[in-house]
Amino acid sequence: MSSQSTAASSLGALTLGAIGVVYGDIGTSVLYAMKEVFGSGHVPFTHANVYGILSIFFWTLTMIVSVKYVTLVLRADNHGEGGLVAMLALASESVKQRPKLQRSLLLLGIFGTCLFYGDGVITPAISVLSAVEGLEVVSPAFKKTVIPLTLVILFGLFWVQKRGTGGIGRFFGPITLVWFAVIAILGVYHIGSHPEILWAISPHYALGFIIEQPGTTFIILGAVVLCVTGGEALYADMGHFGKKPIRLAWFAIVMPALTLNYFGQGALLLEQPEAVANPFYLMAPEWALLPLVILATAATVIASQALISGAFSVTKQVIQLGFLPRLQIHHTSVRDTGQIYIPFVNWGLFGAIVLAVMLFKSSSNLAAAYGIAVCTDMLITTILTFYVIRYSWKYPLWVCLASTGIFFLIDFAFWASNLLKMFEGGWFPLFIGGVILTFMLTWHDGRLLYKAKLRDDALPLQDFLDSVFMAPPARVEGTAVFLTNEMGTVPNAMLHNLKHNKVLHERNLFVTVQSHGVPWIGLDKRLEVTPLRHDCWQVEIHYGFKNDPDVPGALALLPSHGCPPVEAMMTSYFLSRDSIVHTVGGGMAPWREKLFAQMHLNASAAADFLNLPSNSVVEMGSKIEI
């Protein structure tokens, strides 16, 4: 097979994968977006309004997805990786000479990341619930089964997460491709009876609606935004599929299929205004309703799966950046390190989703809760993009303002409109995001206090070693690896080891693990080694926020830095298991210090997080007052 055909095959596979993972969410928005706009009661049902709304849908998809994300934001990759965390790291690095601005952007980006979890609760709930509600169209007798069946499907989805997505992932693309083909065919079928509906592509219909009904336009933007649900996934999944497959999938498959279906729904409404109750399902002939409900449910489960996997990935990245404590992470694939399962996040999301379904009870009620979180994230992405292209790419100010200003105004309009839904349910994802933000900032600030306390109490490592070796204790065979938070200071574990065991190993490594604001750090930059004499070395291990920490694997590179090899059977890893003690008059409010202490206590073991062999780990306890 030639290299050209191999590349084409790879591009085809990646494009198919992008259709399944990246576009599942936005692909299922046809289930509820049009229904919510006309079902809101704010838009009188007239032919002119149908044309105006369709035109607004089309140009919203064009401006926000095609132009902003696919054309502009995808260019802002962080070493090939995308997503709000990657953008945050990129923007933060670009303004590192401005500490106050850097901290403000950091807080803004972290807040956006927290809202991602709020979106992660609403999206699976509204997607699966709207699909299952199709049973009510099949027969009103199914009404009582909608919520129980939705919860059963969601439970099954979260239950299989521990098995990994590799096995079912290969079916995502084909099923979602069938979904897009079906919604396109349904759209074409109804457009055929009213082909004049295609004139709504003209922007003058959207502008006419906006000019004639500005108040109504502002109100319904909160429902119109439903048509771009999942837009952030374009950027977030760039590292998995690459820019070209994502762009190809959008322009060749997804955008045409969505446009045809929305315009088909518009043609149906021109013919049968009563179909506004559920225009998507009423597009289908009666014999196809049940198969369509099944296909829609499969599509929404796939869309939810992509978001759940994204929540796992984002959590891992945030842990690496130092805003969450270590959590238990299971790798579900021996080949793809990106496939992970985090039990705490999985069942925490499920619990919040169950609460959302039971609280709101219908996709229409959930639509009221949806929008604020995703619009805030879109607004934050636009702001961070400005700083990236201004300070990292060094474009002139007028170019930066021109390229991001129009999107800021659009995003702000959608965001402001969604504020009207605050008391109808918009508070729910904001509440979830606010709780998570409290945890993240408490952990981050607590870690700064914790490290400051360690620095204040620590002894300089080189001076301590020189004094110890003036009258050295007995030395035993093997290598001791002391894990320490601060370079150049004596680890508490070493002090306890000397105090209780009164021996030193023949080789001693003082290892500090550093996480950085880039996705990946290669093996050529993994280690920095400094000799300390007396067969002692200071080792600094570097990881990006998407690397998997593996201390033994990193130490295997020591011979290339002039150090003796580390033999697994002759190596012990010494860790300090510190317990946090709250003190009056500390650096944080008392309740935050107590929360930090509890988070520190419940963090997963450092040995597991750093991939240390459990039979070679020695933990020494100590108390730290903050």
Spell out the residues 6+ positions from residue 547 whose beta carbon is closer than 8 angstroms to its own: 320, 519, 520, 521
Give the integer Cα–Cα distance in Å for 518 and 545.
6
Q: Per-domain residue ranges for the chain?
A: 16-444, 460-625
Strands 527-531 and 474-483, bridge-based pairing? unpaired
Strands 571-581 and 536-544, bridge-based pairing? unpaired
Per-residue pLDDT tens over the stretch 325-339:
988 888 776 555 567
Q: What is the dihedral of CA 524, 527, 530, 536, to 10 degrees?
A: -130
Decide: 312 and 345 in contact? Cβ < 8 Å.
yes
Per-residue pLDDT tens over the stretch 4-39:
555 566 788 888 888 887 888 899 999 999 988 987
Q: Tell me the longest C-alpha to C-alpha distance in the chain.
A: 96
Q: Which pLDDT value is given to residue 336?
A: 55
Q: Which pLDDT value is given to residue 1?
A: 47
User: What mean pLDDT do residues 519-541 have?
Assistant: 91
Domain 16-444 is of which CATH architecture? Up-down Bundle (1.20)
Q: In this model, does residue 401 exceed pLDDT 50?
A: yes
Q: Which pLDDT value is given to residue 86?
A: 82
Decide: 268 and 278 in contact? Cβ < 8 Å.
no
8-state DSSP, 78: B
Q: In this model, does residue 52 exceed pLDDT 70?
A: yes
Q: In this model, does residue 77 exceed pLDDT 90?
A: no
525 pLDDT band, cuts 50/70/90, is very high
Closest CA to 455 of 494, 484, 495, 482: 484
**Mean pLDDT for all residues in the chain:** 88
Decide: 517 and 321 in contact? Cβ < 8 Å.
yes
Q: Which structure tokens are listed for 322?
A: 């130092």
- Please give the full DSSP string across 121-159, using - where no structure is assigned: HHHHHHHHHHHHTHHHHH-GGGGGGHHHHHHHHHHHHHH
Compare 206 and 517 and report the one with higher pLDDT: 206
The segment with the largest mean pLDDT, out of 68-82, 454-468, 573-587, is 454-468
Give the integer Cα–Cα distance in Å for 231 and 419.
20
Q: In this model, does residue 148 exceed pLDDT 80?
A: yes
Q: What is the dihedral of CA 329, 120, 184, 265, to 10 degrees?
A: 170
Per-residue pLDDT tens over the stretch 160-216:
888 765 555 567 789 999 999 999 999 999 999 999 999 999 999 999 999 999 999
Query: Would you give the end-to-end CA distance of the chain in angstroms?
Result: 64
Compare 585 and 434 and report the one with higher pLDDT: 434
Q: Which pLDDT value is given to residue 341?
A: 87
Number of helices (H), then strands (E), belonging to the chain: the values are 26, 8
Give the integer Cα–Cα distance in Å for 488 and 536.
12
Q: Which pLDDT value is given to residue 337?
A: 56
Q: Which pLDDT value is given to residue 623?
A: 74
Is the backbone of residue 83 left (phi > 0), alpha (psi -120 to 50) or beta?
A: left
Closest CA to 384 of 17, 13, 58, 73: 73
**How many Å is the Cα radius of gyration of the chain?**
28
Q: In this model, does residue 219 exceed pLDDT 70?
A: yes
Q: Which structure tokens are listed for 477?
A: 């065979």
Q: What percent of the chain has pLDDT over 90?
A: 45
Q: Which pLDDT value is given to residue 458?
A: 80
Q: Which pLDDT value is given to residue 453?
A: 84
Which whole-number Å values give the CA distances from 355 to 37, 121, 122, 125, 153, in the listed order? Answer: 25, 9, 10, 10, 15
Per-residue pLDDT tens over the stretch 155-166:
998 998 887 655
8-state DSSP, 574: E
Decide: 600 and 554 in contact? Cβ < 8 Å.
no
Number of residues in the chain: 626
Closest CA to 309 of 337, 344, 287, 338: 338
Closest CA to 180 of 16, 396, 351: 16
Q: Which structure tokens are listed for 140?
A: 């009103």
User: What mean pLDDT do residues 252-259 have?
Assistant: 96
55 pLDDT band, cuts 50/70/90, is very high
Containing 189, the helix (H) or strand (E) segment is: helix 166-191
Give the integer Cα–Cα distance in Å for 327 and 604.
5
Give the integer Cα–Cα distance in Å for 530 and 509.
10
What are the residues facing 24 on neighbouring strands? none
Q: Which pLDDT value is given to residue 68?
A: 92
User: What mean pLDDT do residues 387-409 have?
Assistant: 92
Q: In this model, does residue 97 exceed pLDDT 90?
A: no
Which whole-number Å values give the CA distances from 155 to 124, 365, 499, in the listed order? Answer: 11, 21, 52
- Which residue has tokens 């996934």? 233
Burial status of residue 474 (CB atoms within 10 A of its CB: 0-12, 13-18, 19 or more): exposed
